[in-house]
Amino acid sequence: MIVVTGAAGFIGSALVWRLNARGWTDIVCVDTPASAEGNANLAPLRYRAYLQHEDFRARFRAGKYDGQITAIYHLGACSSTTETNWAYLLSNNVEYSQELCTLSLARGIRFVHASSAATYGDGSRGYSDDHASTPSLEPLNLYGRSKQEFDLWALAEGHLDRIAAVKYFNVYGPNEWDKGDMRSMVCKGYEQIVQTGLVKLFKSDRPEYTDGGQMRDFVYVKDAVDMTLWLGEHAEANGIFNVGTGEAVSWNRLIGAIFLALGREPNIEYVDMPAQLKGKYQYFTQAEMAKLRAAGCDVAITPLEDAVRDYVRNYLMTGKRLGA
């Protein structure tokens, strides 16, 4: 049996889809009460059971699944970068994760935990997933802090020698509709083009970046889950690992790829950055991928334009979910 937490969400449902594609259906999906979008994500997929996370937590603690679970992919968390309730994040993102990790290790279960590139903050301290750099990182928001707290705890407890913690960079792709305003710019950009014929991007207030020239490491969700599953299947590969492409791409190129997929000429309007984002906006992210590659992960990265084309034409234009 495999357990996937956050299974109704974006990356979680994509991981269940990929497991199904490999012939695996003995899956327990765990999440909060699913929204309409979450239910739609899971509807085409095959799995043993769906449990609310507190129900699973109680059953797991009580040993209900002893001897049955081979791996837990713990992707469930509050991922809002604007969440301000630290007590909630501490309970939901940190303490819950710590308990699942501790119990998994005690029972010989492979544990893969979703950290985040948000732990890298403004990037001034680099994007190395080397453990020695972890304590020096300064996240820009409480969500990033919650992920950093787990990583620091796992490092202090010596657990990073026995688990994999993945730092997802900017993941985009099908099944992200439940993320609301946290959806990728591919999804939101497509909607803007359909509705208005143009896409709005933030102006740059740093001279070294042109408007729309701010850069991020955008990784297609299909590639991200393949790397995650690789780590789950290789118990010898432990520690913190970046999950990205290793290539920083400008917002202008990303939006250009959407227009290209639609057969249209780019039409971009640059708008002032909101005051609440100034000082908290990442101008550059780029995953250092050498550690994951050195561990033996050979998952191929889909070129940006090809991935955006697949997403736009096969999912956004059709409204289909993964597995439908």
Is 143 a catalytic site residue? yes
Q: Would you give the distance in Å from CA 154 to the centre of its chain?
A: 19
Map tokens 């780019």 to a residue. 266
Query: What's the rounded Cα separation, in Å, for the pair 123 and 136?
Result: 11
Q: Considering 179, 209, 270, 283, which one is annotated as catalytic?
A: 179
CA–CA distance, 245 with 115 (Å, rounded to integer): 16
> Would you say 78 is a known binding-site residue?
yes
Question: What six digits make up the tokens of 1?
Answer: 């049996």
Find out whether 205 is annotated in a ligand binding site.
yes
> Does the annotation list 137 as a binding residue?
no
- Closest listed residue to residue 20, CA positions, set 49, 53, 44, 52: 44
Report helix angle 304-311 to 251-262, nearest 10.
50
111 marked as part of a ligand binding site? no
Catalytic residue among 50, 127, 143, 315, which?
Answer: 143
Q: Is there a binding annotation on residue 13?
A: no
Q: Is 241 annotated as a binding residue?
A: no
CB 271 within 8 A of CB 202: yes
Q: Does the annotation list 75 as a binding residue?
A: yes
Which of 23, 38, 28 minimizes the C-alpha distance to 2?
28
146 is known to lie in a ligand binding site: no
Query: Annotated binding residue at 201?
Result: no
32 labelled as ligand-binding? yes
Question: What DSSP string runs through 127-176?
Answer: ----GGGGGG---SSHHHHHHHHHHHHHHHTTGGGT-EEEEE-EEE-TT-
188 is in an annotated binding site: yes
110 is in an annotated binding site: no
- Identify each DSSP E strand in 176-285 by its residue range: 199-202, 215-216, 218-220, 239-243, 249-250, 268-271
Q: Which pair of tokens denotes residue 87?
A: 């007590």
> Would you say 181 is a known binding-site residue?
yes
Of the candidates 286, 127, 163, the one whose C-alpha atom is nearest the C-alpha of residue 150 is: 163
Establish whether 10 is an annotated binding residue. yes
Q: What Rg do the C-alpha atoms of the chain give, in angstroms?
A: 19
**77 labelled binding-site residue:** yes
The annotated binding site is made up of: 10-11, 31-32, 75-79, 92, 147, 170-171, 179, 181, 188, 202-205, 216, 281
Residues belonging to the active site: 143, 179
The annotated binding site for NADP(+) is made up of: 10-11, 31-32, 75-79, 92, 147, 171, 179
The annotated binding site for substrate is made up of: 170, 181, 188, 202-205, 216, 281
